[in-house]
Amino acid sequence: MTDPHQQAGRVTTPLENTPAKPWDPTAPIPAPLQLHSPTVQPQWVDYNGHMSESCFLLVFGDSSDAFFRFIGIDERYRDEQGLSLYTVETHIHNIREASVDDPLKLTLQVLDVDAKRVHIFHSMFHGKTGVLLATGEQMLLHVDMKAERAAPMPPWLLERIQAIHTAHAALPRPAQAGSSIGIRRKAV
């Protein structure tokens, strides 16, 4: 079976070279967004018979790419403006296992946004049972690729993400959001 993430020896996303969708400011914004629903591929499964940890990140990255195209960021934006969103931090919680051919349903919630950053939260569910399999929290940074540094988003882009953030404000904050890693010890 051909891996949908391989092209000419490099990793791609399923939406690569797919233009961003036109933005309709009057359209209702789903809370949360549901933009990506892949199926677990055989090459994503490791020697334990479950989806490999690196593939959880791969799928969350694809969900981010779907979000980028939802808000108007695609190859044209990158090539013509020299701007893009980069992931600067990711936290993944693996909650349940996924197996080959399992359908996945991903949701995305915008937790916060400012002029240069977007804080998003992915939830991965089994597409048939609805069981939560994993979560992925990401901090995205808007970058001027030529200057190689953070840059403010253009007003139209910031307005779109702020509209999504407003639509998502009524959602409960996910339990895993903002958690840190460490060994928890009982007080003696």
Is residue 137 a contact partner of residue 117, using CB atoms and an 8 Å limit?
no
Query: Are 140 and 149 within 8 A, CB to CB?
Result: no
Mean pLDDT of 153-174: 97
Q: What is the pLDDT of residue 3?
A: 59
Q: What are phi and psi of 122, to 5 degrees?
A: -100, 145
How far is Cα 58 from Cα 171, in angstroms, rounded to an integer?
25
**In degrees, to the nearest 5, what angle opens at C-alpha 178 toward C-alphas 168 and 11?**
80
pLDDT band at 13 (very low <50, low <70, confident <90, very high): confident
**Residue 42's pLDDT is what?**
95
Separation of alpha carbons 164 and 119, rounded Å: 12
Give 40-90 pLDDT, tens digit per residue: 999 999 999 999 999 999 999 999 999 999 999 999 999 999 999 999 999
Mean pLDDT estimate for the chain: 94
- pTM value is 0.92
Residue-level pLDDT at 8: 66
Q: Does 26 have pLDDT greater than 70?
A: yes
Residue 132 clears pLDDT 80, i.e. is over it: yes
Contact 16, 5 (CB under 8 A): no
Mean pLDDT value of segment 86-113: 97
Structure tokens at 163: 């509209």
pLDDT for residue 11: 80
Task: Find out whether 39 and 104 touch, Cβ atoms under 8 Å.
Answer: yes
Distance, CA of 88 to CA of 163 (rounded, Å): 23
- Strand (E) positions, 3-81? 6-7, 10-11, 33-36
Domains along the chain?
31-168 (3.10.129.10)
Rounded distance, CA 181 to CA 162, Å?
29
Q: Which residue has the tokens 């939560």?
A: 132
